[in-house]
Amino acid sequence: MNQKPAPLLRFGASVSLVGLIALCLVWELWLAPLRPGGSYLVLKVIPLLFPLRGVLKGDLYTLQWSAMLILLYFMEGVVRAWSDPAPMSVLMACVEILFSTVFYLCAIFYLRPAKKQAKRLAALEKERLAQAALTTKEHRTTEPAP
């Protein structure tokens, strides 16, 4: 049984990542920056650009590490939703929480079939190696002594 990753989950991860990038830019430059005219917090978008190409292509390795990266944005959203006094900033933080949660769930469930298949292949390889070792041991014991 060879399950393929669902394209809808890849699409969900891609859309939420692009949405998070756009949200961070708009949030820190125009809608609710910490300082009028924009803030250096807009630089937080740079780490999101590194996995963008791999996520759009559906690369499994990129989705694995970017799922861990996205948790930083989830934490930032929670902290700012809880502590920021500006209502617009709280709204932006809630949207950041939403985008990061959607990305995380889509990435994890997209990777799930590949992880199951890797475990299955590892178990088969382990069984094959055990069988080969047993065959070699039997061959040595049945050989006549010189």
Could you read off the pLDDT of 52-63 as tens digits, one per residue?
Answer: 999 999 999 999
* First-to-final CA distance of the chain: 49
pTM of the model: 0.81
pLDDT tens-digit series, residues 67-109: 999 999 999 999 999 999 999 999 999 999 999 999 999 999 9
Where are the alpha helices (H) located in 27-86, listed in sequence order?
A: 46-49, 52-57, 60-83
- pLDDT (tens digit, 9 = 90+) per residue, 124-146? 888 888 887 777 766 666 666 56
| pLDDT score for 140 | 65
